[in-house]
Amino acid sequence: MWSTTLLTTTTTLLLHALSATATWTAYQEYLSHLPAHPSKHQDPRPSISFHPNQPFNPLPRSPPRGRNCYVQSHDDFVTDDSEFILEALRKCNHGGRAIFPQGRTYVIGSALDLTWLEHIDIDIQAYIQFTNDTTYWQTHAFYQTFQNATTFFQLGGTDVNVYGGGMLDGNGQAWYDLYAKDIYILRPILFGTIGLCSGSISNLNLRYSPQYYNFVANSTDVVFSNISISGYSQSNHTAKNTDGWDTYRSSNLVIQSSRVDNGDDCVSFKPNSSEILVQNMHCNGSHGISVGSLGQYVGQVDVVENVLVQNISMSNATDGVRIKVWPGSPSALSGDLQGGGGSGRVNNITYLDMSIANVDYAIEITQCYGQKNLTLCNEYPSSLTISNVNISNVHGTTSAKYQPVSGYVVCSSPKVCENITLSGIEVVAPDGVGNEFTCGDVDQGLLQGINCTTINKGSN
């Protein structure tokens, strides 16, 4: 029952059919991490520690669980196991542990609203795959209001811990190919943490998400630790918008000790994110650890403040440190991503100790996100202020894309930017030029050791 040598003939044929797909790659990876003789057992909840920094606020204690519920499955890569999952979660809610055993496979083909969970552990040791029924998910996935985000499921409630070493596979290839034909489709996010008040998500492998890997909204006191994220397109259609984490209307979060191999933001702090700690991360292929984008929607107030990012390894990325704010006038980054004119603030943001390798911009701060016409951007400067930003000890090599320039720190008006401080910056372009930045409408006296080339305000 628990060994891959005992798979049924039907399942074996299905696996053979999948052998050339991303799904097969993910499943083989999952199998490779199983012990030689997988067994039906329960893992203790991982003990999560914090170093070098503690969360902004103390986290609530999560008591031990008193009973176990084993989640059944059809174990055939085809049949929807959602009812089995709901049955086990209902049974073990309020003090139990729902276990997805090692070696089992589960299929989720139904949108699951799990915002009613309380005092439960979800021990995922198995392989879980979401179906690639793009028609179903576009009409049934949970709409999250921000940037047309949708999620396969909503995990919420109080005191919920998810862990186990298993794998969640978003079956993203169908979505990558479909998005190349229609940029207005709604691509589900793999892991939706929506309205969770205290909990942890740790020791999991997330693969091939159709869009973001994690969306954390309306949540507080949540820890993400030891998460592995990866998944690229196996066709010529790029996997786009595959952010590792996006936080939204959430506070007192920790994201730490994880590896992200993706093609968009490693971590992004979206509107109204506060008291966020990100530490001990390895990001590869990303768009950096980003504040924003913010100020996208007219009439909305976006606030991101009290954020600490430390001990980051960033490689093969467009950016290391990034703050991106929309201008005061409408602009369009792409057909499905446009905006500008919103207000708010970015305040008390700290980046410490980032090592970069082959990164286009070591540091990028802009209030003209989505607007290529800088004359127009500066005619209608951002209504969203940036203040009290401290970036220290960023070192390594940039790519050749902008050489000899290694960074970009440009505000749309000196009235909306203050106290942006850079220190201990040692970044070198491939041609050997170090610490050469494009600067504009900032106090250059606070950019220690930076060689600033002032941007031409009239250029496009």
Domain boundaries, the chain: 4-45+64-454
Q: Check 51, 119, 237, 287 and give the catalytic one.
A: 287
Whether 152 and 187 have beta carbons less than 8 Å apart is answered as: no
Residue 1 has what pLDDT? 36
Among 259-268, 390-399, 448-457, which is the least confidently predicted range? 448-457
Per-residue pLDDT reduced to its tens digit, 308-363 = 999 999 999 999 999 999 998 878 777 777 888 899 999 999 999 999 999 999 99
- Helix ranges (H only) for 152-222 are 173-181
Per-residue pLDDT reduced to its tens digit, 11-22 = 554 554 454 467
Q: Which two tokens stand for residue 107?
A: 């299929």
Residue 18 has what pLDDT? 52
Give yes or no: 16 in active site.
Answer: no
Residue 116 has what pLDDT? 98
Residue 416 has what pLDDT? 93
Quick one: average pLDDT of 250-272? 98
For 4-45+64-454, give the CATH class. mainly beta
Q: Band of the pLDDT at 456, cuts 50, 70, 90?
A: low
Angle formed at CA 202 by CA 303 and CA 279, multiple of 5 degrees? 50
Entry field: residues in the chain: 460
With a cut of 60, say whether residue 188 has pLDDT above it.
yes
> Is the CA virtual torsion 405, 411, 412, 414 positive or negative?
negative
Quick one: average pLDDT of 260-267? 97
Return the percentage of the chain with pLDDT > 90, whole number.
82
- Give the span between the Cα atoms of 458 and 415, in whole angstroms: 18
- Helix ranges (H only) for 50-126 are 82-92
